[in-house]
């Protein structure tokens, strides 16, 4: 495999990027309100009217299946006096979304269809008060929203990978397990941690045995989507607690592809990991400069469940252990960076992706270089 591109003398970011409330707020304005953010899976909305709430960046967004073909996203804000329309994290609307305060009622396309005791006339037209909609896109079975008023089209933002994973048939996969982690660390520490395997021999001996850390390649090494494959060691079939596959390999992969595991960061807050027999997504939700939630979901082909070698628990156990090792070191990093003694340190060539991430991040913030 080709070696990682050099980090060319780049250094880690100054401490303020991991600690400052002001920068956290600026990130909301310049990054999290501009970029496409994954909020969950199409498979979670199986019937018309089923919904879940995406709670992120200080907003509550209703993600609802309007029909077989259409999923919509609305701010969870009534057009009468602003009350939140629903507070259950997930559920099913019959055919309407009704405000619990004065019963203003919206259909699943967001139109206000009833407003009791409000007379249609010069002062009031129902047609003028639809729910505020949020930009939405789906790709490979995942749902993305964009809080911006004029977002970059999803197809442009994701151009580098739009058809890249077709052979895996990711959109068929269904979530089999979900774990939510609370991590006392800045979101970027998790993004950076995911983007290098320099730490693998020290922190993840079990993972490093399955995929030796130097056997990796970055096939996307600049821009908002970064990552590439790692090669499974001889005798290992997948990333599981014992290295054996836990489901039949995805249908359209050739022999060599069944030896690779793919890892991509979709900046800012999604990680996509593809094993030969299952996939996994991590979504980061920012809670504060030093606090994040990570939601991890394990995805399997629904047909795999009928096969004899199907055992997702070995994949779940392996990654839950690895996740906890990672979050623990991210928390320890945060505490060190909080110190007055912290200063930017040099990246190794194995951390070239971190230098690329910092470039993407600083450009998005409107700061052209790492001004340490």
Q: Is 104 in the site for ligand FES (CB under 6 A)?
A: yes
Say which entry of ligand FES, Fe ion, none residue 102 contacts (CB below 5 to 8 A, set by partner kind). Answer: ligand FES
From the list 75-83, 177-185, 277-285, 353-361, the region that binds ligand FES by CB under 6 A is 75-83
Among residues 118 and 362, whose Cβ is nearest to ligand FES? 118
Beta strands in the chain (DSSP E): 37-41, 50-56, 59-65, 71-75, 90-92, 96-98, 105-107, 112-114, 135-139, 142-146, 174-183, 225-231, 260-266, 270-274, 279-288, 291-300
Q: Would residue 164 be called left, alpha or beta, if left means φ above 0 and alpha means ψ between -120 and 50 degrees?
A: alpha
The secondary structure of residue 71, as a DSSP letter, is: E
Among residues 10 and 207, whose Cβ is nearest to Fe ion? 207
Measured CA to CA, the distance from residue 367 to residue 204 in angstroms comes to 34
Q: Is 78 in the site for ligand FES (CB under 6 A)?
A: yes
Helix (H, G, I), strand (E, B) or coil at 286: strand
Task: Cite the DSSP H helix spans in 170-311.
Answer: 187-194, 200-203, 205-210
Tokens matching residue 159:
């151009």
Measured CA to CA, the distance from residue 131 to residue 74 in angstroms comes to 6
Among residues 104 and 139, whose Cβ is nearest to ligand FES? 104
Among residues 30 and 80, whose Cβ is nearest to ligand FES? 80
**Considering just the CA atoms, what is the radius of gyration of the chain in Å?**
22
Q: Which residue is nearest to Fe ion (CB)?
A: 326
Task: Quote the crossing angle between the two packed helices 187-194 and 312-337, to the nearest 10°.
Answer: 120
Measured CA to CA, the distance from residue 107 to residue 109 in angstroms comes to 5
Say which entry of ligand FES, Fe ion, none residue 81 contacts (CB below 5 to 8 A, set by partner kind). Answer: ligand FES
Q: Which of 83, 133, 160, 233 binds ligand FES (CB under 6 A)?
A: 83
From the list 39-47, 51-59, 99-107, 170-178, the region that binds ligand FES by CB under 6 A is 99-107
Among residues 14 and 212, whose Cβ is nearest to Fe ion? 212
Among residues 83 and 179, whose Cβ is nearest to ligand FES? 83
Q: Is 277 in the site for Fe ion (CB under 5 A)?
A: no
CB contact at 8 A, 296 and 178: yes
Q: Is 351 in the site for Fe ion (CB under 5 A)?
A: no
As measured in angstroms, the least distance from the Cβ of 34 to Fe ion is 28
Say which entry of ligand FES, Fe ion, none residue 326 contacts (CB below 5 to 8 A, set by partner kind). Answer: Fe ion
Closest CA to 75 of 100, 49, 106: 106
Among residues 78 and 239, whose Cβ is nearest to ligand FES? 78
Q: Is 101 in the site for ligand FES (CB under 6 A)?
A: yes
Among residues 86 and 299, whose Cβ is nearest to ligand FES? 86
Measured CA to CA, the distance from residue 145 to residue 2 in angstroms comes to 35
ω into 268 cis (within 30 of 0): yes
Window 200-239: contact mask with Fe ion (x via CB under 5 A): ----------------------------------------
Q: Which of 140, 196, 301, 326 binds Fe ion (CB under 5 A)?
A: 326
| Centroid of chain to Cα 52 | 16
Residue 12 phi, psi dihedral angles, 5° rounding: -65, 165
Say which entry of ligand FES, Fe ion, none residue 104 contacts (CB below 5 to 8 A, set by partner kind). Answer: ligand FES
Measured CA to CA, the distance from residue 3 to residue 215 in angstroms comes to 9
Measured CA to CA, the distance from residue 117 to residue 334 in angstroms comes to 55
From the list 96-104, 246-254, 255-263, 363-371, the region that binds ligand FES by CB under 6 A is 96-104
Q: Is 196 in the site for Fe ion (CB under 5 A)?
A: no
Tokens matching residue 193:
């941690």
Q: Is 97 in the site for ligand FES (CB under 6 A)?
A: no
Q: Which of 11, 102, 178, 199 binds ligand FES (CB under 6 A)?
A: 102
As measured in angstroms, the least distance from the Cβ of 108 to ligand FES is 17
Which residues of the chain form contacts with ligand FES (CB under 6 A)? 78, 80-81, 83, 99, 101-102, 104
Which residues of the chain form contacts with Fe ion (CB under 5 A)? 326
């Amino acid at each position: 495999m080709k070696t990682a591109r050099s980090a060319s003398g780049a250094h880690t970011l100054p401490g303020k990027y991991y600690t400052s409330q002001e920068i956290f707020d600026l990130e909301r304005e310049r990054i999290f309100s501009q970029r496409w953010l994954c909020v969950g899976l199409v498979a979670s909305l199986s019937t018309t009217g089923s919904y879940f709430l995406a709670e992120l960046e200080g907003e509550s967004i209703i993600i609802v299946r309007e029909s077989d073909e259409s999923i919509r996203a609305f701010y969870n804000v009534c057009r009468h006096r602003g009350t939140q329309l629903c507070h259950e994290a997930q559920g099913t609307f019959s055919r309407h979304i009704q405000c619990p305060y004065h019963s203003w009622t919206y259909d699943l396309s967001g139109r206000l269809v009833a407003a009791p005791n409000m007379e249609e006339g010069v002062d009031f037209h129902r047609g003028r008060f639809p729910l505020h909609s949020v930009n939405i896109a789906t790709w490979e079975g995942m749902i993305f929203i964009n809080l911006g008023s004029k977002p970059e089209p999803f197809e442009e933002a994701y151009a580098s990978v739009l058809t890249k994973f077709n052979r895996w048939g990711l959109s068929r996969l269904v979530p089999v397990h979900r774990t939510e982690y609370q991590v006392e660390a800045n979101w970027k520490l998790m993004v950076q941690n995911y983007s290098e395997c320099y730490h693998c021999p020290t922190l993840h001996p079990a993972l490093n045995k399955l995929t030796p850390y130097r056997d990796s390649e970055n096939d996307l090494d600049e821009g908002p989507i970064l990552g590439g494959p790692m090669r499974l060691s001889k005798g290992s079939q997948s990333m599981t607690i014992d290295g054996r596959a836990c489901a039949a390999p995805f249908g359209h992969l050739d022999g060599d592809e069944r030896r690779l595991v793919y890892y991509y960061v979709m900046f800012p807050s999604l990680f996509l990991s593809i094993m030969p027999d299952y996939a996994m997504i991590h979504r980061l939700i920012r809670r504060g400069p030093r606090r994040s939630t990570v939601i991890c979901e394990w995805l399997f082909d629904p047909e795999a469940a009928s096969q004899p070698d199907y055992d997702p628990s070995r994949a779940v156990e392996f990654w839950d252990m690895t996740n906890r090792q990672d979050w623990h070191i991210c928390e320890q990093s945060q505490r060190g960076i909080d110190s007055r003694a912290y200063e930017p340190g040099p990246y190794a060539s194995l951390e070239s992706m971190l230098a690329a991430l910092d470039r993407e991040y600083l450009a998005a913030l409107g700061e052209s270089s790492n001004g340490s």
